[in-house]
Amino acid sequence: MNSKKDGLVDPRVAKALSHPLRAHVLTILNERVASPNQMSEALGEPLGNVSYHVKALLDLECIELVSTTPRRGAVEHFYRAIERPYFSDRDWSRLPKSLRRAISDVGLQLIWDDVTESVESGTFESRTDRNLSRYPLVLDEQGWEELGSLLAGIFDETVRIESESASRLADSGEDGFNAKLVVMSFESPEAKSDNPAKKGKKAKTR
């Protein structure tokens, strides 16, 4: 999951994201209002399992009930996420390593699922202006901190762009289209002698 320098860690969100199915449910409810039945169909998971984790998220106050609708003698409940799950760098470092690993594993799986779905559906290459970049680096501690600040700024700008897009879509009545942004930075185990920076080689592809 992303970290945001000005955010505050919420132990409830950390606990929610430590389970793969809960993380999937929370991700869906950050994107739209949905019922356990709808999410069960979307995720290919038994309704009982999804309902269990929806209740857990509700108990953790990560989601809220939006509305109810009668369905064939029963009542379908619709939920939405209360806030997006982000952590400050400082508070992320305070989480136990095992929990950080669990949350990271879930985040990477969500990214892989998003990419796989896009590739298989053909939307990954539907736009010629899509971006796919890989950039090996050799950094010192100051460079690493500067890179983190740069990426935090990209996130802030992304939120602004999304907000302004929503306003324009509301004015035009258009539906817009779905997109995903993935930003990662991590230490690589590559030996310095093998690093492309030593050879003047960088990789970037569109």
Q: How many CB atoms lie within 10 A of CB 75?
A: 9
CA 183 to chain centre: 10
- Residue-level pLDDT at 40: 94
Model confidence at 182: pLDDT above 70: yes
Domains and CATH numbers, the chain: 8-124 (1.10.10.10), 127-206 (no CATH)
Percent of the chain whose predicted confidence (pLDDT) is above 90? 44
Local structure of 79: helix, strand or coil = strand
Longest dimension (CA), the chain: 69
* Confidence at 156, pLDDT banded by 50, 70, 90: confident
Model confidence at 120: pLDDT above 70: yes
Q: How many CB atoms lie within 10 A of CB 106?
A: 22
**CA-to-CA distance for 181 and 2, rounded, in angstroms?**
11
- Residue-level pLDDT at 1: 44
The torsion angles phi and psi of 125, rounded to 5 degrees, stand at -105, 15
Q: Which residues of 168-201 are buried (b: 16+ CB within 10 A; e: fewer)?
A: eeeeeeeeeeeeeeeeeeeeeeeeeeeeeeeeee
The torsion angles phi and psi of 45, rounded to 5 degrees, stand at -110, 150
- Collect contacts of 167-171 with beta carbons under 8 A, ≥24 apart: none
Q: In sequence order, what are the beta bridge partners of 133?
A: 204
Query: Helix 36-43 crosses helix 20-31 at what angle (to 10 degrees)?
Result: 110
Model confidence at 98: pLDDT above 70: yes
Q: What is the pLDDT of residues 12-70, one digit of tens each?
A: 777 777 787 888 898 889 888 999 999 999 888 999 999 999 999 999 888 999 999 99
Q: What is the pLDDT of residues 124-134, one digit of tens each?
A: 999 999 999 99
**Mean model confidence pLDDT for the chain:** 83
**CA-to-CA distance for 143 and 138, rounded, in angstroms?**
9
Q: How many CB atoms lie within 10 A of CB 54?
A: 24
- Residue-level pLDDT at 68: 93
- DSSP 8-class letter at 183: -
